[in-house]
């Protein structure tokens, strides 16, 4: 079966996010007042596996080993079965 995976990665609460601060400051310079700016990275891909449980195990592994830095990142992912 083919699955669509979306991994959502963000800095843990309390970590400095210079990218977000820069965006907020740049928006302010253009006259837009926004607050609580934050950034999230999303990685999507497809996988062929026997079951959603297999996908879940593999993706959890990938996050720990490569996609995220568990020291500074929180992550969550969604798995959707694709038709065909």
Contact positions toward its own copies, by CB under 8 A?
Answer: 5, 8, 20, 23-24, 26-27, 30, 32-48, 58, 61-62, 65-67
Residue 11's closest CA among 77, 73, 75, 67? 73
- Length of the chain, in residues: 84
Nearest distance, CB of residue 35 and its own copies, angstroms: 5
Nearer to its own copies, 45 or 70 (CB): 45
Closer to its own copies at the Cβ: 28 or 72? 28
């Amino acid at each position: 079966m083919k699955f669509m995976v979306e991994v959502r990665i963000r800095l843990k609460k309390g970590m400095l996010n210079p990218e977000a601060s820069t965006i907020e400051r740049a928006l302010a310079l253009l006259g837009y007042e926004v607050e609580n700016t934050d950034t999230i990275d999303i990685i999507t891909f497809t996988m062929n596996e026997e079951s959603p449980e297999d996908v879940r195990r593999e993706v959890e592994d990938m996050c720990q080993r490569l996609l995220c830095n568990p020291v500074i990142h929180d992550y969550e992912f969604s798995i959707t079965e694709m038709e065909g």
